[in-house]
A and B are shown apart, each in its own frame.
Chain A
Amino acid sequence: MADAAFLAIAVLTIGSAIAALELRSLIYATIALMGTLGGIAGFFLLLDSPFVALFQVAVYIGSIAVLILFTVMLVRRELIFKKIEDQRRRWAGIALLLVFLVAIGAVIIDSGIKSVTTDEPQVDYREIGSDFLTYYWPALILMALILAGAVTGALVLARREDVESEQRAD
């Protein structure tokens, strides 16, 4: 049975996920998204995975949320507060959500997952570190290259060529 900490984090996560999609202001929605990501980090702590939890906090709350906040601030003021959606699609979306929840929920509850518990000790995070540097080292290097490529690509995409040429003309 779930304990109190689990229930509190569950309410925080689901509630702020809904708020992130439904709040009118994009800035408050970004802060609500931070709540969701922090709640997921809390679940990782409950699952005895402090390394992944801290990685989640560092990457998501530390960098991605700030990146999204700055992007939101670049957008025109009235667009931040305008809700862009169709009312008909909204009801269709809620229907899709309910159908999805009932279908997947029925499959999961009907499966054998319900009785799974464990008495085994948690995985040591030293094991994760040594896995990274021994068995997974090609993937680690590839991931570093992908990150570098993605950041370079983002910088190149977002660069404004017209501003630079104006400065050169001066």
Chain B
Amino acid sequence: MLKVSNELIDFVIISVALLGIGIYGLAVKRNAIRMLFAVEIIINAANLNLVAFARFLPNSAGQTFALFSIAIAAAEVAVGLALIIVAYRMYQNIDIAEFRSLKG
């Protein structure tokens, strides 16, 4: 396929919508795992933007950067889930309002 039938603006709008949903989730939810979901959605919106602009420039650097971004996101999820498990073990809860041993 030589020409994409969709325009850049379509992908950017989807990306903005996903970013908005992710910000809503981060603002509203107090469940630690759900907040991790929201972060994942935001990262994916960013990756979608990178690949979309890489296709329309066209330039391979965007795709390369998206690959790096996906790999770093995998590391972030592993560490985030480990932190959630440790916090759950300490407080027997996944509500972030209960994680208050650092509160003065």
B-contacting residues of A (Cβ < 8 Å)? Answer: 1-3, 6, 10, 13-14, 17-18, 20-21, 26, 29-30, 33, 36-37, 40, 43-44, 46-49, 51-52, 55-56, 59-60, 63-64, 67-68, 71-72, 74-76, 79, 83-86, 89-90, 92-94, 96-97, 100-101, 104-105, 108-109, 113-114, 116-124, 127-128, 131-132, 136, 139, 143, 146-147, 149-151, 153-155, 157-158, 160
Contact = CB atoms under 8 A, between A and B. Distances in A.
A97 B23 contact: yes
Interface residues of B, number: 76
Main secondary structure of the interface of B (DSSP, over half): helix
Main secondary structure of the interface of A (DSSP, over half): helix
B95 A84 contact: yes
A150 B28 contact: no
B64 A136 contact: yes
A48 B54 CA distance: 10
Interface in B4-31: 4-14, 16-25, 27-31
Given A29-B34, A127-B60, A147 B21 contact: no
A109 B9 CA distance: 8
Contact of A33 (B16, B37, B67, B81): B37
